[in-house]
Amino acid sequence: MLKDVVNMSNQQGDIYFSENRKNVFLDIKILVNWKEIKINRIRGLLSNDRIHISCHDHNNNHIISNVSPLTDIERLLTCFILIFAEKILSDEQYLYIALDYFFSPSEDKFKKVYSVFLDRPKHLSYFITYEDDEIFDLSNFTAFSSIYEIFKANKINEKRIL
C-alpha cells in the first residue's frame, strides 16, 4: 500500500498538501472490501502535530471509530505516510534524497533516506485521533503526485543528457 501511494498509481490513493504546506491530506481507496469490516477508504489529515484519521465503507459513508477502528499497525502506517510526506514537502534536500530512492531503490539509499528522515524531525510527538468526515475537504489542497511527476521528468532528462 505504501509503495502504491508513493508511486502515485492512482489505483490505491493520493497525497495532497495545502498551499501553505502546513497540512497534508492522505486519501487511500481500497479497491476490494477489506477484512470483514468492509473498510473501503482511509483518510488522514496531518495538521501541525495532530493526525486525524477516518474510515469509510464502499458507499463512502463514514464509519465511526468505536464500531470499526483500524488496528494499531494500520493506523501507524497511515501516520507514517503523512509524516513522511510532510518531511518531503518541508525539506527540498530530503525530497531529492527520498525520491531518488524510489526512482532506483537500493539498500544504501534506503539507509540514507531513513537516517535523514530521523535527523531533523518537525515535531517530537504527534497526537493521533479518529475524526469525523467534515474536516476532510480537498478544496484547499493540491495533489502531491504532481511533485513526483516533475521529479520523474527531471530524472529522465538527466539520463538523456548523460
Phi first, then psi, for residue 147 (nearest 5°) are: -65, -45
pLDDT at 133: 58
The model's pLDDT over 56-77, given as tens digits with 9 standing for 90+, comes to 877 777 877 766 667 777 788 8
pLDDT at 26: 86
Cβ(143)–Cβ(10) below 8 Å: no
The model's pLDDT over 75-100, given as tens digits with 9 standing for 90+, comes to 888 888 889 888 888 888 888 888 88
Which pTM value belongs to this model?
A: 0.76
- Residue type at 82? L
pLDDT at 46: 92
Say how many CA atoms lie within 13 Å of 81 toward its Cβ: 29
Kindly state the DSSP code that residue 56 receives in the 8-state scheme. Answer: E
pLDDT at 108: 92
* Cβ neighbourhood burial of 81 (10 Å; 0-12, 13-18, 19+): buried
Query: With bands split at pLDDT 50, 70 and 90, how would you rate the model's confidence at 152?
Result: low
